Chain A
């Protein structure tokens, strides 16, 4: 478990939306998917996932339905809505712009300043 990074404030929503965009998942599934797609590099306080999920549902980016999980248990599945898809695109764009801006800032050399 080396090389883990604390996630930046505000990025949890982006990660959840991304994870959910790959198919409906229950809460624990979302956690696992984020671990999987970030190759275990991101550290999430597990409980913190849920307030974020409830908020995204209320904001209309996710919709929740009770269903049956792979091990035949009742579970609540989260799915991206149309608004959520749009929101994800915006967040991704925003994130990429931020990353490239930060990256170019950090790669600046002395003579360019």
Chain B
């Protein structure tokens, strides 16, 4: 209401203004006319009478202005007048206006863009009711603080705690959909029955899972995602009650989950269907020691703090450890606020980028301020005339500020377009950002952009405006427009130094990020990723109930059929774990020792369950002994291969080959047949700091019968290709379908892509920081160029005279270059000092590069000064070519 009222006031005062302007003229003119009439009656000629009347009246414009002021609609009126005048002045120099608006649009656009990301990702609350009550839950084990939660433990957690109003667990999985056109691989989530209610998400259609529907043996139900519903059912409500055939079993559709929900699982993989945990045909589900990659979400009771919940859960897990020491000894619960869990490490990156664009905006402002200063100089005459005609200094300053605010608002509007387009493009290239779907230009971004524009306009308008306050009107008018230059030049020099310093800081930041990334790319992951393709394969759903021997035969056949396909050099199946992507653990104890009573007292190793050609496909060097052969199957004695870390840790310098270890799963004594090189499992950068690094390879065909049945819905295939991976994947798809029409291969990724994926966040920040640094450098150099060419323009006379008096042209070149380079070097020194302090904030994001890396600093300084020299050289050359005759003739 208030806004409407004040708008109405504004509108009416503008409207009244137009009216009263005319009336004011009419009234004042009537006075002069009446007076002239009277004077004419006194015997003067009409012309003389009118002249006298005007004279007696006094300064018409001055009184009119005073009337306006007295009438009280002054502010709005002058504003409208200033805006009109400002627009006219800007239209009159389109080149200047375009450069200024574009510069500002870059600065403001970059800010609006990054802020819209920060706003969407960091500031907006999670799209769930009372998101602050939500926490992510993990089981903590001696090796991991964020381990997975066994289903039975989860049920006890849920039943025994006092601080949570609700709790749920879930994990990603996949299903083979048949019976709806071509068979298709679906992304799925196994969920406990209250998964949706914990989050407070209501189904778009149909109903949510009811309690106990997640039990083993409950009726097979499924909820589908909004995306899947639209894709497969055209958004029809009749979808409810229909059946989906997933991995050969029929599930009844009970509801549709809204698409806002994808937020939770990240934008990377959209979930198609949600299935209750009990439907998972995994026999280990009811094993208390099998976490099976389930992680939880809890909702705190109103008023309960995270601290209380931690203490509560410590009690609950301690009781469980006492009750089931075999599975739960040393197992606790880890609580992480859901927000923090979802955002991960992105927060510091975004804040850094926000800082970087802040610099870009400052540089843009300084640049436009500089342009305005130069223009203010050529406008001193205009300003002097207006002030001689009675405009007060305050009035002139307001006029100039209006102009700069107009420029800034224009830049802001264009900047919003850039931001909108830029963020869309950036997010399209980099899908790894959490909550990417929520990023957009909302009211907060719009308001911020408006405020930034306004402040920027005032900020960069201040310097040229203050110039007006100290202008010497008489001197200017007398001089015929050639004002004094000294102090103006000084201000511009300071601006240039500041810009250069800020550009240097950004360049150093970008340089350090680039060096880190280059270092990371050089890290040897322990295998050779080039030409290695990884994809998933699901066997025909009917095989789920087939005898394990038939499954093993099928797996063998797949390996041999794939291996003989043209373009394939080596093929290996892989179950569960893959370097840099997924981990799996094996528990063991040394031969000759008694079996430890608790799993927590056993030894842990990372486990890779693979085929005989895995080493060839991944090109991992064999250090001693042998790798697996086709004969290492369920009929042969158990064998394992270790990595060098394992061998060193458990066998010291002695030879591990030929020794034996006792495995928990598959149970039994296994002979160590070989030792291979260590592979980076966790990440390229932090692998060496992880606790769990010992690695063990097991033959896929030696796994337990029920494990083998688990491979039916999905097993990984690793292929070393001699031609393009895409071509290989297409031929293998053909081979696979020929084996069985219901056998699906899906989700192809090269190992190179997987490695790039682990570096995506770094690459994201590097690319953006690099882009901002480039923009900053460009703007700063435009600034240097502008100031130097302006100075050359002002000094043309001086230069001409120097040349006429015998100065050598190379001397003139040096003079101008020196002027620019002095500023650039001062900026470099300042910038290095600032960068030394600021890059400390980056140190978390750097790898193998110090925050004060001398190489980066030196290179950046050289680049910056070289570019600055070029920027100065162009106008300096112009100065060198000044023809003294032409100049002197003008004098």
Q: Which single member of B28, B34, B35 contacts A50 (CB below 8 Å)?
A: B28
CB of A58 within 8 A of CB of B72, answer yes
Interface residues of B in 64-81 (CB under 8 A from A): 66-67, 69-72
Central interface residue in B28, B30, B60, by most chain A CB within 10 Å: B30
Residues in B neighbouring A26, C-beta threshold 8 A: 27, 30
Interface residues of B in 30-51 (CB under 8 A from A): 30-31, 34-35, 37
CB of A45 within 8 A of CB of B30, answer no
CB of B27 within 8 A of CB of A47, answer no
CB of B63 within 8 A of CB of A28, answer no
Q: Which single member of A47, A55, A57 contacts B63 (CB below 8 Å)?
A: A47
Complex CA gap A71/B38 in Å reads: 12
CB of A76 within 8 A of CB of B27, answer yes
CB of B30 within 8 A of CB of A55, answer no
Q: Check if B584 is an interface residue, CB within 8 A of chain A.
A: no
Residues in A neighbouring B57, C-beta threshold 8 A: 46-47
Residues in B neighbouring A48, C-beta threshold 8 A: 58, 63
Q: Check if B303 is an interface residue, CB within 8 A of chain A.
A: no
* Residue in A closest to B60 when the chains form the complex, CB atoms: A47
Q: Check if B472 is an interface residue, CB within 8 A of chain A.
A: no
Q: Check if A14 is an interface residue, CB within 8 A of chain B.
A: no
Q: Which single member of A46, A55, A71 contacts B70 (CB below 8 Å)?
A: A55
Given A47-B59, A47-B60 in contact, is the A54-B67 Cβ separation under 8 Å?
Answer: yes
Q: Check if A73 is an interface residue, CB within 8 A of chain B.
A: yes
Complex CA gap A57/B57 in Å reads: 21
Given A52-B70, A58-B71, A58-B72 in contact, is the A74-B26 Cβ separation under 8 Å?
Answer: yes
Complex CA gap A50/B30 in Å reads: 12
Interface residues on B, range: 20 to 34
Interface string of A58-89 (1 = CB under 8 A from B): 10000000100001011110000000000000
Residues in B neighbouring A45, C-beta threshold 8 A: 58
Residues in A neighbouring B738, C-beta threshold 8 A: none
* Residue in B closest to A32 when the chains form the complex, CB atoms: B38
Q: Check if B307 is an interface residue, CB within 8 A of chain A.
A: no
Q: Check if B56 is an interface residue, CB within 8 A of chain A.
A: yes
B31 CB to closest chain A CB (Å) equals: 5
CB of B70 within 8 A of CB of A75, answer no
Residues in A neighbouring B706, C-beta threshold 8 A: none
Central interface residue in A26, A50, A52, A71, by most chain B CB within 10 Å: A50
B564 CB to closest chain A CB (Å) equals: 98
Q: Which single member of A46, A47, A75 contacts B30 (CB below 8 Å)?
A: A75
Residues in B neighbouring A54, C-beta threshold 8 A: 67, 70-71
Interface residues on A, range: 20 to 34
Q: Check if B23 is an interface residue, CB within 8 A of chain A.
A: yes
Complex CA gap A27/B27 in Å reads: 8
B141 CB to closest chain A CB (Å) equals: 80
CB of A51 within 8 A of CB of B67, answer yes
CB of B31 within 8 A of CB of A46, answer yes
Complex CA gap A57/B70 in Å reads: 9
CB of A51 within 8 A of CB of B35, answer no
Q: Which single member of A28, A58, A66 contacts B34 (CB below 8 Å)?
A: A28
Complex CA gap A67/B858 in Å reads: 82
B337 CB to closest chain A CB (Å) equals: 59
Complex CA gap A45/B58 in Å reads: 7
* Residue in B closest to A29 when the chains form the complex, CB atoms: B34
Given A51-B67, A55-B70 in contact, is the A73-B30 Cβ separation under 8 Å?
Answer: yes
Residues in B neighbouring A58, C-beta threshold 8 A: 70-72
Complex CA gap A110/B69 in Å reads: 49
CB of B66 within 8 A of CB of A51, answer yes
A34 CB to closest chain B CB (Å) equals: 13
Q: Which single member of A46, A51, A76 contacts B56 (CB below 8 Å)?
A: A46
Central interface residue in B26, B34, B59, B66, by most chain A CB within 10 Å: B34
CB of A46 within 8 A of CB of B27, answer no
Complex CA gap A110/B71 in Å reads: 50
* Residue in A closest to B34 when the chains form the complex, CB atoms: A28
Complex CA gap A46/B30 in Å reads: 13
Complex CA gap A66/B27 in Å reads: 10
Q: Which single member of A47, A55, A57, A66 contacts B58 (CB below 8 Å)?
A: A47
Residues in A neighbouring B62, C-beta threshold 8 A: 47
CB of A76 within 8 A of CB of B23, answer yes
CB of A50 within 8 A of CB of B72, answer no
Complex CA gap A19/B133 in Å reads: 76
Complex CA gap A25/B812 in Å reads: 74
Residues in A neighbouring B56, C-beta threshold 8 A: 46
B842 CB to closest chain A CB (Å) equals: 60
* Residue in A closest to B58 when the chains form the complex, CB atoms: A47
Complex CA gap A45/B26 in Å reads: 19
Residues in B neighbouring A57, C-beta threshold 8 A: 71
* Residue in B closest to A44 when the chains form the complex, CB atoms: B56
Complex CA gap A54/B34 in Å reads: 20
CB of B63 within 8 A of CB of A50, answer yes
A19 CB to closest chain B CB (Å) equals: 14
Complex CA gap A73/B27 in Å reads: 11
Complex CA gap A23/B77 in Å reads: 32
Complex CA gap A71/B34 in Å reads: 10
Complex CA gap A26/B30 in Å reads: 10
Complex CA gap A76/B72 in Å reads: 18
Interface string of B1-30 (1 = CB under 8 A from A): 000000000000000000000010011101
B766 CB to closest chain A CB (Å) equals: 63
Complex CA gap A73/B28 in Å reads: 14
A6 CB to closest chain B CB (Å) equals: 14
Central interface residue in A31, A47, A66, A73, by most chain B CB within 10 Å: A47
* Residue in A closest to B66 when the chains form the complex, CB atoms: A51
Complex CA gap A76/B26 in Å reads: 9
Residues in B neighbouring A66, C-beta threshold 8 A: 23
Residues in A neighbouring B30, C-beta threshold 8 A: 26-28, 73-75
Residues in A neighbouring B71, C-beta threshold 8 A: 54, 57-58
Given A28-B34, A46-B35, A46-B57 in contact, is the A51-B70 Cβ separation under 8 Å?
Answer: yes
Residues in B neighbouring A52, C-beta threshold 8 A: 70
Residues in A neighbouring B59, C-beta threshold 8 A: 47
Complex CA gap A28/B29 in Å reads: 10
B71 CB to closest chain A CB (Å) equals: 5
CB of A27 within 8 A of CB of B31, answer yes
B668 CB to closest chain A CB (Å) equals: 102
* Residue in A closest to B64 when the chains form the complex, CB atoms: A50
Complex CA gap A52/B23 in Å reads: 16
B343 CB to closest chain A CB (Å) equals: 57
Residues in A neighbouring B31, C-beta threshold 8 A: 27-28, 31, 46, 50
Residues in A neighbouring B23, C-beta threshold 8 A: 66, 76
Residues in A neighbouring B72, C-beta threshold 8 A: 58
Interface string of B548-571 (1 = CB under 8 A from A): 000000000000000000000000
Complex CA gap A58/B16 in Å reads: 14
Residues in B neighbouring A47, C-beta threshold 8 A: 28, 57-60, 62-63
Residues in A neighbouring B63, C-beta threshold 8 A: 47-48, 50-51
CB of A46 within 8 A of CB of B67, answer no
Complex CA gap A55/B68 in Å reads: 9
Q: Which single member of B35, B58, B66, B67 contacts A28 (CB below 8 Å)?
A: B35
* Residue in B closest to A55 when the chains form the complex, CB atoms: B70
Residues in A neighbouring B69, C-beta threshold 8 A: 51
B224 CB to closest chain A CB (Å) equals: 70
B449 CB to closest chain A CB (Å) equals: 38
Residues in B neighbouring A27, C-beta threshold 8 A: 27-28, 30-31
Q: Which single member of A31, A50, A55, A71 contacts B27 (CB below 8 Å)?
A: A50
Residues in A neighbouring B70, C-beta threshold 8 A: 51-52, 54-55, 58
Complex CA gap A108/B46 in Å reads: 53
Q: Can you list 14 A-B pairs, Cβ within 8 angstroms, ordered by A?
A: A26-B30, A27-B30, A28-B30, A31-B31, A46-B56, A47-B57, A47-B59, A50-B27, A50-B66, A50-B67, A52-B70, A55-B70, A66-B23, A76-B23
Known pairs A52-B70, A73-B30, A76-B27; list 20 more (Cβ under 8 Å). A26-B30, A27-B28, A27-B31, A28-B30, A28-B31, A46-B31, A46-B35, A47-B57, A47-B58, A47-B60, A48-B58, A48-B63, A50-B27, A50-B28, A50-B63, A50-B67, A51-B69, A54-B67, A55-B70, A74-B26
